[in-house]
């Protein structure tokens, strides 16, 4: 299994870091070598970080908690949206709205407004608006949809944030740290690993690298969600069985009493 993961990571270019002149000295434990002025990330450290993150995310999903995927850079956006949608988790792939976590109530009110606008545009009420008002409503909808569509299912605070490049997503990292929310992050050689709880050293600029690592993390969330669903189904079955037994006991007791002549 480890060999297969190593081959996948190398083929995706996960081991390529930034230019040596741009490195953060705190990343030294995760760097294997320097070649042609570029740092090479130690794949063993990448695998360690990935396995720790997958184990944690599976536990979070198994508890029924939310995982928020964050990646607004061009290389990360499509992969973040696709993988988060696949594991049915909220995501931010366009722009991180300031206060998305620390001012959660206001963000929820904007989501309510988005639903109102959608209802107006999809119903007969839109015909009562002038062309100018319809145009303004369309602009408002496009802007809100672009920024808020990914967090529609964020009906409570997330347990964890999965971040691509904490330097780019510094606002989300700050908010998560302020609220005590765990952060799992793909970090390159120019990042500060102390800013995140579970770092995964790797190339955070390559599209293939981001896609591969997000796919692995999304699979861990799916596994946790499936185990939670199975446990819930089992619990329902056990409750149904105990209810059936409870209903059957008085009948059996009455029959024995009648047989003994006690009724």
What single string gives the DSSP state of each residue in the chain?
Answer: -HHHHHHHHHHTTTTEEEEGGG--GGGGGGEEEEETTEEEE-HHHHHHHHHHHHHHHHHHHHTT--EEEE--STTTHHHHHHHHHHTT--EE-S-PPTTTTTTHHHHHHHHHHHHHHHHHHHSGGGGGS-HHHHHHHHHHHHHHHHHHGGGTT--S--SEEEEE-TTTTHHHHHHHHHHT-EEEEEE-TTS-GGGSSEEEES-SS-HHHHHHHHHHHHHHHHHHHHHHHHHHHHHHHHHHHHHHHHHHHHHHHHHHHHHHT--
pLDDT at position 183: 96
pLDDT at position 40: 94
pLDDT at position 124: 85
- In order of their start, the domains of the chain are 2-101+157-232 (3.40.50.10490), 103-154 (1.10.287)
pTM: 0.84
pLDDT at position 198: 96
pLDDT at position 79: 95
pLDDT at position 231: 76
pLDDT at position 241: 66
Q: Which residues of the chain have pLDDT under 70?
A: 1, 240-263
């Amino acid at each position: 299994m480890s060999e297969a993961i190593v081959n996948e990571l190398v083929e995706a270019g996960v081991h390529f870091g930034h230019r040596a002149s741009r490195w953060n000295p705190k990343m030294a434990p995760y760097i294997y070598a320097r070649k042609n002025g570029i740092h090479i990330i130690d794949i063993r450290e990448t695998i360690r970080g990935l396995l720790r993150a997958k184990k944690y995310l599976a536990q979070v999903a198994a508890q029924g908690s939310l995982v928020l995927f964050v990646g607004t850079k061009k290389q990360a956006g499509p992969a973040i949206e696709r993988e988060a949608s696949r594991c049915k988790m909220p995501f931010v792939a366009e722009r991180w709205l300031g206060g998305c976590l620390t001012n959660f109530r206001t963000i929820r009110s904007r989501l309510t407004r988005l639903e109102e606008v959608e209802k107006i545009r999809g119903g007969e009420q839109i015909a009562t608006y002038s062309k100018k008002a319809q145009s303004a409503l369309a602009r408002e909808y496009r802007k809100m949809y672009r920024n808020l569509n990914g967090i529609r299912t964020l009906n409570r605070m997330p347990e964890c944030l999965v971040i691509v490049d904490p330097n780019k997503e510094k606002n989300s990292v700050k908010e998560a740290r302020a609220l005590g929310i765990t952060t799992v992050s793909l970090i390159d050689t120019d990042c500060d690993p102390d800013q995140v709880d579970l770092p995964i050293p790797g190339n955070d600029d390559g599209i293939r690298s981001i896609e591969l690592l997000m796919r692995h993390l999304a699979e861990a969330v799916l596994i946790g969600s499936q185990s939670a669903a199975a446990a819930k189904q089992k619990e329902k079955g056990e409750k149904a069985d105990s209810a059936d037994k409870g209903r059957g006991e008085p009948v059996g007791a009455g029959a024995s009493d009648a047989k003994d002549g006690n009724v």
